[in-house]
Amino acid sequence: MKIWDLHCDTLSELRHAQLSGTPKSFEHNDLMIDLQRLKQSGYGLQCFACFVDLGAPEDPMRTALQEMDIFHNLLARYPDDLVWVRTGEDVKRLAGQTRIGAMLTVEEGGTCHGDLAILRDFYRLGVRMMTLTWNHKNELAEPNVGPDYNEDTWPVAPNTTGGLTDRGVAFVEEMERLHMLVDVAHLSDAGIRDVLRHSTRPFVASHSNARACCPHVRNLPDDLLRAMGEKGCLIGLNFCPAFLDDGPDRHHLTSRVEDMARHAKYILNLAGEDCLALGSDFDGIGGKLEIAGAQDMPRLAEGLCRAGLTETQVEKIFWNNAARFFAENL
């Protein structure tokens, strides 16, 4: 079965390895994703995020540009294995490709410093999806999980008041004009409701689960799941233990296939079969993982089928929904 994944932080890990003087090969490494395992597991497309932490001392735009440079170097080094995806037509052409589609995304709208010109430059460099926030307030909006988040006070209340700024609304409008997908993963509940109000096109929550199944504020509440389903949005199932496991001991959590199936069934029931995809968050998550990297993805497909999902439903989650959505919206 083909695999299309909406989110990984592999570029960030490759950058950290490079800066530490111990660079890692993308062809084969000890991360969660490498080229060898993508090919062996049958990947059709991988979205590569430029992850940036605004709490780090480096300039966020410089960090993003360094990760974009790594992405472009990968395309140049592996032309027989990777193909750059920027348009709906590129997506459609993947059907006849043996190469793996590679899409460039950004995880932190604060990398643009609130400047629409920088956003447009990111688009010119190939960015086709961007989260408005990560875990820090920026010029565009506020997140649900702030830098002082502490699961010892579990569950933490969501941010229902800090939504989009005027500059954030302008970014949503410009991203829609460019056909750069708005990604609401990490965004506050208030911010997602603002995106629903101001957007004219479907958007993405690239790595988010169902709050009713696990009351983590990074997950989506029922009203937002319904609204996103009605708008034709796309939601990527996240493999992070903290967003799957609803156990009370927040320091000993496990990412289990049975919990992924529980979240998947809930989202399908509430938002519809066409809204759910994969958003692994590989190389951005840790802890005990039953699906610990690209090599384990066939086990996830088997597990979802065992949990009662039909083969058609699993194919939609694994690739078909993402392929249709990107073809229609890029």
Q: What is the mean pLDDT of residues 174-178?
A: 98
**Can you tell me the distance from the alpha carbon of 70 to that of 59, in angstroms, rounded to the nearest whole number?**
17
**Can you tell me the distance from the alpha carbon of 230 to that of 225, in angstroms, rounded to the nearest whole number?**
9
pLDDT band per the 50, 70, 90 thresholds, residue 154:
confident
What is the CATH number for 132? 3.20.20.140
pLDDT digits (tens, 9 = 90+) for 43-82: 999 999 999 999 999 999 999 999 999 999 999 999 999 9
The predicted structure's pLDDT at residue 150: 82
Structure tokens, 221: 């509440």
Q: What is the mean pLDDT of residues 285-303?
A: 98
- Of all residues in the chain, the percent with pLDDT exceeding 90 is 95
Q: Which domain holds residue 112?
A: 3-329
Could you give the residue ranges of the DSSP H alpha helices within the chain? 10-19, 35-41, 60-77, 88-93, 116-124, 166-178, 189-198, 222-231, 241-244, 257-271, 297-306, 311-315, 321-329
The predicted structure's pLDDT at residue 79: 98
**Can you tell me the distance from the alpha carbon of 211 to that of 112, in angstroms, rounded to the nearest whole number?**
30
pLDDT band per the 50, 70, 90 thresholds, residue 151:
confident
What are the φ and ψ backbone dihedral angles of 142, each rounded to 5 degrees? -120, 150
pLDDT digits (tens, 9 = 90+) for 228-273: 999 999 999 999 999 999 999 999 999 999 999 999 999 999 999 9
Residue 128 has pLDDT above 90, yes or no: yes
Residue 274 has pLDDT above 90, yes or no: yes
pLDDT digits (tens, 9 = 90+) for 192-239: 999 999 999 999 999 999 999 999 999 999 999 999 999 999 999 999
Q: In sequence order, what are the beta bridge partners of 105?
A: 49, 129
The predicted structure's pLDDT at residue 133: 98
**Structural domain count, the chain:** 1
Residue 146 has pLDDT above 80, yes or no: no
The predicted structure's pLDDT at residue 288: 97
Residue 147 has pLDDT above 80, yes or no: no
pLDDT digits (tens, 9 = 90+) for 15-25: 999 999 999 99
